[in-house]
Structure 1
Amino acid sequence: MKETTALTDATRRLLAAKLQLPPIPWTHARGSWVYDGAKRYLDAASGMINVNIGHAHPAVAAAMSDQVRRGTFASPGALSGTLMDELAGQVALAVHRPEDRVMFTSSGTSGVEGAIAPARLAHRSRGADGRRKVLTASLGYHGNSAFMLALSGHRRRRPHPDDSFGLQPAFDAPYPGQHLDCPYETCQAECAQGVRAAIEQAGPETVAAVLIETVNGTTGGGYVPPAGYPRVVREICAEYGVLVIHDEVLTGLGRTGLPLAAHHTPGSYASHATVKRVDVAT
């Protein structure tokens, strides 16, 4: 048997983010548990929020094995994506949007970027070529690409000013200690007027979309916006013809108890017959 050499910082070749605690050694995972010999750890993070059904689920393992025996990858742009089309239909039904279109991506970052692109395209198709800006909140986090980090408010990950393309968050998040000069003892739905101010400062004719997390995740640890806040954001954006993008990477597909976190706030998005909202869920 080949002897395994313990890795040290000097011998590791994997470039990955370092957390405050050292990585936990592990041998295998089952369901919600990660094992290291006799020890086991509860995977409260669900992998990286993408293992909702648990580790090593027999049905998932069987489906993956069956698929890889038939073919490893087939681009739907070149080969018929029958199974992907079926899955897209099931996803649309699961979030109560049966007439929506679904785009599959490999990460939350690419999912959010994939939502921004059609938002801008929608404005161009209407002749509003100048609408390209995307406004975000000061505590929001939307991905790890250079573009998304520039739009995000994750302070530890903010790029150097020379590398941020001139982009930065445009309004304060409606959370305790984060909404500067908040006129209320605790944030209210009307704190969304900060979004109005940001749109007006940017110039409504230049704004394509407002991008918000329906529940704050990476930067705040589960901050929930004030009751009605997403609805007021949508109403304000509708006044200016600005689209709303809900980043549901951390909250979509039932993680908050409803199919989408936006479902907790009636009126927070428009009906599927109008182009007023794009949800991003992985």
Structure 2
Amino acid sequence: MVGREYGRVYAWDRVNAPMIRHWCEIMGIDNPLYTNPEFARQQGYADVVAPPGMLQVWGMGGLDQENFPEGSSTENNFEVLKVIEPHGYPAVVAVNSDLYFDRQIVAGERLYFTSRLDSVSEEKTTPLGTGFFVTVLMTYFSQQDAGDEEVGRQLFRVFKFKPAQRPQEKPAAKPAEAKAMKRPLPGVSDDTRFFWEGCEAGKLLIQRCTDCQTLRHPPAPVCIKCHSFDWDSIEASGKGQLYSFVVMHYPEVPPFDYPNPIGLIELDEGVRLIAGLVGADPATLEIGQRVQVEFHRFDDQQNLPQFRVVAA
């Protein structure tokens, strides 16, 4: 099946400014080339440009992944997975995606992609299990009156595998050496020493440029706005909101407790930092929840800022 080609899959919509704006907002990108038509025309484009990283977005089916516009191919470009599965390889996980861009894509263009099964590896054994790496190449085109033009490619790779067998029950007790393990100490440099010294004093210190008053975190030697080398610090209120979070489940690394919720905290002062979340049921965490800093001492050697969800 390697080398088999699959027909066109059309984009639901032309490349358009609203989708570009939403994508930029979510990704935190502020580039007038993507959102300001006048600026884009000054750079020689007919309209705003789509960020290159959006290439795959235009060809997605939506919430129903197989829901494509009329005229699109109904073939499954990963049909080889169904061939492999009956031989004892039930699981699949996406591994990586490589994108290649030929040129900028401008609002108003209509895209489609075709696919080719690029490769199926020999059987491989990984920590997840034993199986096959399957790679599909999607080639993206822009429909043009003078002839469709290739604009980019995407290599998408998945692992079709038989899960490795794991013990059903955890050991009754953790090894003594695991219990004795201490949290790793943070790396301290001339740029960050003030922050950790503040933690030892129970203060959440944020670096501030003394020339333009811009706050920045993580600490850095140069202002990200005016490029000044002069700075001091302010003590933050420790109040903020949960901008995003993850919950670590596996692998379990001593001496941390699991599940281990970790938050990206947006402080009321406007900067963000990463910290553990304490007293939180991972199932109840929601983006936007108010949080308050607490300092907790570990192993009698470090005082760390962690955050607790509080009432709005």
Normalising by structure 2, we get a TM-score of 0.19
Larger-gyration structure (1/2): 2
Higher helix share: 1
**The structure with more strand, counted as a fraction of residues:** 2
